[in-house]
Amino acid sequence: MKATVKEENNPRGASVIERLSEEVFTRYARWDSASVTMYLRLGGKVFVAYNGEEVLGGAFLRKLTDELWELTMIGVFPDYRMRGVGKAIMRKILESVRGEIYLHVSVDNSPAIKLYEDFGFLKVKRISRFYSTGEDAYLMVLKRTPRRPEKESDVRG
Ligand SMILES: CC(C)(COP(=O)(O)OP(=O)(O)OC[C@H]1O[C@@H](n2cnc3c(N)ncnc32)[C@H](O)[C@@H]1OP(=O)(O)O)[C@@H](O)C(=O)NCCC(=O)NCCS
């Protein structure tokens, strides 16, 4: 399936995250579009995967600093899974965001853990009873080379 992933830091993107939250992440914290919009104003990003007009899935990242991001959610609607959509979303995220990315994932969520490991995320810690359901989570981090400080001569202009 051809998935085109677009950055959608706008109401349309926020509503896709709300839909994913309702349909895919029913066991975890809910994200409504108003909360997503608030984080977009703080520099967060939303990515949406399309096949034509059809929405396949998406991702939401919160920005802590230019060099540190949280991958808060990535999800593909059930009908479109196992066809490379998750990977396409992840590739687009890594093209668009610099710096380190961290996330939490349930220790039982092997499809997601496999996806993250394929892209270089490492498990750094197991957190007991992280979720309200009582499940443990892994904290996973993707370390990337920080942007080199700009040369003084470039800054002075
Ligand atoms: C995790 C998720 C986003 C993966 O999306 P996807 O489009 O199905 O993933 P892809 O087709 O791009 O596959 C990515 C890799 O994960 C593996 N994978 C995907 N689903 C899998 C499954 N059910 N079991 C085992 N491996 C799986 C694939 O094998 C693939 O690796 P490969 O190509 O080397 O074989 C999707 O399963 C999902 O939305 N899950 C529910 C939401 C969720 O748990 N999100 C993560 C927590 S925030």
* DSSP code per residue over 58-84: EEEEEEEETTEEEEEEEEE-GGGTTSS
User: What is the pTM (predicted TM-score) of this model?
Assistant: 0.91
Q: Which atom of ligand 1 is nearest to the CA of 75?
A: 39
Q: Please compute, for residue 38, the number of CA atoms within 13 A of its CA located in the half-sphere on the CB side.
A: 4
CATH number of this structure's domain 4-156, picked from the four choices 3.40.30.10, 3.40.630.30, 2.40.160.50, 1.20.120.550: 3.40.630.30
Give the Cβ contact number of residue 25 at 10 Å. Answer: 14
CA angle at 93 for the pair 88 and 94, rounded to the nearest 5°: 100
Identify the pLDDT of residue 25: 83
Give the model's confidence band at 157: pLDDT under 50 very low, under 70 low, under 90 confident, else very high: very low
Tell me the pLDDT tens digit for each residue of 86-113. 999 999 999 999 999 999 999 999 999 9
Could you tell me which residues are beta bridge partners of residue 69?
63, 101
> What is the 150 CA–ligand 1 centroid distance (Å)?
38
User: Which of 24, 71, 72, 82 is the best mutation target for the ligand 1 pocket, counting ligand atoms within 8 Å of the beta carbon and taking the most?
Assistant: 82
User: Which of 115, 117, 118, 139 is the best mutation target for the ligand 1 pocket, counting ligand atoms within 8 Å of the beta carbon and taking the most?
Assistant: 115
User: Does the pLDDT value for residue 145 go beyond 80?
Assistant: no
> What is the 74 CA–ligand 1 centroid distance (Å)?
10
DSSP code for 18: H
Residue of minimum CA distance from atom 15 in ligand 1: 115
> What is the 82 CA–ligand 1 centroid distance (Å)?
6
Give the Cβ contact number of residue 115 at 10 Å. Answer: 18
Q: Please compute, for residue 7, the number of CA atoms within 13 A of its CA located in the half-sphere on the CB side.
A: 13
Average pLDDT over residues 144-157: 58
